[in-house]
Structure formats: C-alpha cells, structure tokens
Structure 1
C-alpha cells in the first residue's frame, strides 16, 4: 500500500501540467470571429446587387507597363556570349572551383562558429576593421576620392584594359 502511494505521488510530480487556458504563441492580434450573413447586423442581402459588386477589388496589369524579361532574348544573349568565349574549359574549371570554394568556406565558417569563444572574438575583429575602414576611407572627402580611384584601378586591372 505504501509502495503504491509513493509511486502514485512520483507519477503525479513528474506528469507535465497543462495550462487551464491555452496559451497564444503568435504575436499577431486576434481577429474578430467571422459573422455569417444570418447573424450579422448588416446582412449582405440588404445591399443591392450593384453595391455588392462595387465592393470587389480587381487588379490587372497591361503588357505595355510590364518590366518582365523575355527569356528567349536572355537565352540567345547568353548563347552568344558563351560562343564568344575562346577557352571554355578554363571558364568551366574556374566556375567549378568557385563553387567548391564557397562550399568549403561554408564548412569552415560552420566549424569556427561552433568553437565557443571564437565567434565573438572574430566579431570584434570585424567591427574593429569596419571602424578602421570607415575612418580611413569614408569619413573625409579626399579619402573617398582615393578609394574611388583605387576601385577604378582595380576594375581596369580585372577587366584587362590597363
């Protein structure tokens, strides 16, 4: 009898308690209940047919104002550019290498992020570098001009026009 009472007490302690009132998990406000036409104070039958039709909202767009991209034109443009490439194997190799580099960097970032203190230290380093960059290049007009000329020189070097 004593063993039965203690086991019942133990199960009563470990059973999860359900709230008496269901809790609301959403941050959205409650909407009022939907009223049917028979219970509402203004049934739809009271409005004439023309009034009910004027309450409908219609959205349309004309093809003239549309800014959609023509897929056929895009594909022909891409095909022309691909045909203009002389060394296709190099482009494919660089593209595959870029995909592998992004994949590997995401793995490395995930591994570094799992180390307890290292993400906060790297965040501080990033904030410090950002502050230095803003002070060095963005704060004063002369340094902004210097940054613009550096960017233009880098563009020319990458494009091969230099």
Structure 2
C-alpha cells in the first residue's frame, strides 16, 4: 500500500468532486471544486495506491492559514487517512512559515472535532446558525492551531 500527500492537480478533480458529494451532506458547488487555484491556495490530495482517497483545500495569507474543506472518501474512512491528511496539511503550513491554522467545523461533526482536538486544535469561538442543516441551521465551532508555538 502506497500513501502519498501531493499537491492537488487538475487530474484529481473528478475524484475530488465524487468524494465531495459522497462525504458531505451539504457539498461545495462543483464550480468551487474545479476553480483554478489562486496564489494563496494550498490544496492537497491524499493518494492511496495512486488513487485519490481524500483531499483538502486551504489557503495561506500573511502567516495565517485556513483549512477550508477536508474530506476522505467514505469507502476509506475509519482507517486514519483523515488524520494523515490533516497532519500533511499542518506540515505543509509549517514549511511555509504559517503562524497558525484556523478552521470551522459543524457542531454536529463530533468525529472531525475529536480529530482536530487530538491533533492540538483548540476551540476558541462559536458561530451560531452558520451552516445549513437538515432542520434549519447549525453552529460552527471555530478552532485554531498555533504553529509558531509548536515549532518553538
């Protein structure tokens, strides 16, 4: 088994779009997935035996990184790939001298919240009614990871 984290490339996008729809109840629009990345984008793919098993979209502006979207193919979940992908994103941001990483997670997404917390993210705020949900709206938990302190 070969597992690699590589820069997200155009040939990954069909698989990314398929995973996005399968992994999220409220997926991003296909136009956002296929949009040409700008200079602040840091988008990664997790390849398992040469096939896309997961991906993340992020950005880095003036030392502040944001994880915008992360997903693992539902067929590959529960095997630690999300953790490896997130660690790869953290490492990439550290190599680019980011000072901290920010993310938002649905309050109901306890598996993701627990993963972020286990890797050192701290909940610092809550945005009430931020995400669409089956029955109206749901809160977003805002989390941060201080890279400069960990590099210390």
Q: Flag whether TM exceeds 0.5 (same fold).
A: no
- Structure richer in strand, relative to its length: 2
TM, length-normalised to structure 1: 0.17
TM, length-normalised to structure 2: 0.18
Name the larger-Rg structure: 1
- Structure richer in helix, relative to its length: 1
**Structure number with higher relative contact order (C-alpha < 8 Å, ≥ 6 residues apart):** 2
